[in-house]
Amino acid sequence: MAVTLEQARRVGYTCLKALLRFAFMVANNLVAIPSYVLYLIMLQPLRMLDSKSFWYIEGVLFKWLLAMVASWGWWAGYTVVEWGDDVKAVSEDEAMVLVNHQATGDVCTLMMCLQDKGTVVRQMMWLMDHIFKYTNFGIVSLIHGDFFIRQGRTHRDQQLVLLKDHLEKYYRSRNRKWIVLFPEGGFLRKRRETSQAFAKKNNLPFLKHVTLPRLGATQVILKTLVAPQENGTPTGGDAVIKERKSKGLQWVIDTTIAYPKGDPIDIQTWILGYRQPTVTHVHYRIFPVKDVPAEPEALTDWLYQRFIEKEDLLTHFYETGAFPPPKGQTKAISREMTLSNLWLVGIQSLAFLSGGMWYCIFQYLYHCLF
């Protein structure tokens, strides 16, 4: 089939745009990430004198970095529409966020749609695959205190012990509020066949749009972060002291990401922007943590039920283009998530100005020393 001049122009424009976007992303990373690290090195005296203020500043810088990632998708026309419960209502409380996992773009989508949820982004902790540690953003996540989990049956028990220790050491000492995890333990396309075989063997529902979740990390988080209760009050003297500082984990936010026609966005698309503008749909459902069972068997059933519900939500979405209304209501209401272009330009400008400032400082020091 012959290629028309108009088609050739369109392909050329797309390639040029992708090249320019990639160049901008590389430049953005070369100034923003080192600046984040250098600012925090300079603030180490503050960390020793007032760790709360230090981690507040670190959280603000972290949110700005995530906003830069969000801007790459936002300016390519990759926007978000939200459904279900309004999570802004619990943005100042501690919450665990359970998310289905389809592609690398899921993380970018969350980085975008949580930007307007108050202090959530700067006070959140991520659980992610250990491979992420070796990416360009890995150093940022390490400093911020995210947890990198190694997948596989041989590592599972050890990783859960490490997760518990990590939460006890960093979660409240750095004033974290939300913790985000992907209980499926991998991308849908990689785990679906294994999950369906497991479901068939154990007489569980056959799922196409999600996979059966794994219990381990969810159970550790609940055991570690939920404040002990007895007859509605914290138990023990130490628990009373802890309660004054934190009410503990209060909510579980079941988050379902849906892409049009089930075609997820990956990180390459997010960076290069070669896909046509796309609206990603995110559905939230909030559960009080007191309604989540603690016993392993009951918790497993509860967690399975959440992903069975996700399957129903996604099936409805792929058939109709919208999520179903909540029980007792006749119409589902969506909310378009927006970002301020002026704010995003300001953050990007600050990153490049910071990069220039650090370059001048190092040039000055070099000439002074040599």
> For the chain, what is the mean pLDDT?
90
Q: Degrees (nearest 5) of the Cα angle 229, 235, 238?
A: 125
What pLDDT digit, counting tens, does each position of 91-114 carry? 999 999 999 999 999 999 999 999
Picking from 349, 344, 329, the residue whose alpha carbon sits closest to that of residue 74 is 344
The region of weakest confidence among 88-102, 226-240, 350-364 is 226-240
* Structure tokens given for 266: 């990956």
Q: Degrees (nearest 5) of the Cα angle 163, 165, 166?
A: 60
Query: Can you give the residue ranges of every domain in the chain?
Result: 5-227+247-369
Burial zone of 132 (CB within 10 Å; 0-12 exposed, 13-18 middle, 19+ buried):
middle
Ramachandran category for residue 227: left, alpha or beta (phi over 0 → left; psi -120 to 50 → alpha): beta
* Structure tokens given for 53: 């203020």
Confidence of residue 232 (pLDDT cuts 50, 70, 90): very low
How far is the CA of 12 from the CAs of 7, 22, 26, 74, 137, in angstroms?
9, 15, 21, 22, 30
Q: Which residues contact 79 (CB under 8 A, 6 or more apart)?
A: 277, 278, 279, 280, 336, 337
Write phi, then psi, for 202 (nearest 5 degrees).
-110, 15
Structure letter (DSSP) for residue 273: -
pLDDT of residue 305: 95
pLDDT of residue 75: 94
pLDDT of residue 185: 87
pLDDT of residue 245: 52
Q: Which is more confidently placed, 279 or 328?
A: 279
Q: pTM for the full model?
A: 0.89
Confidence of residue 302 (pLDDT cuts 50, 70, 90): very high
pLDDT of residue 152: 74
Place of tokens 């999520």: 323
Q: Which is more confidently placed, 279 or 153?
A: 279
Q: What is the largest CA-CA distance in the chain?
A: 79
Determine contact, residues 78/272, Cβ cutoff 8 Å. Answer: no
Q: Evaluate if residue 233 carries a pLDDT over 70.
A: no
- In this structure, the dihedral spanned by the alpha carbons of residues 37, 38, 44 and 47, taken in order and rounded to 10 degrees, is -50
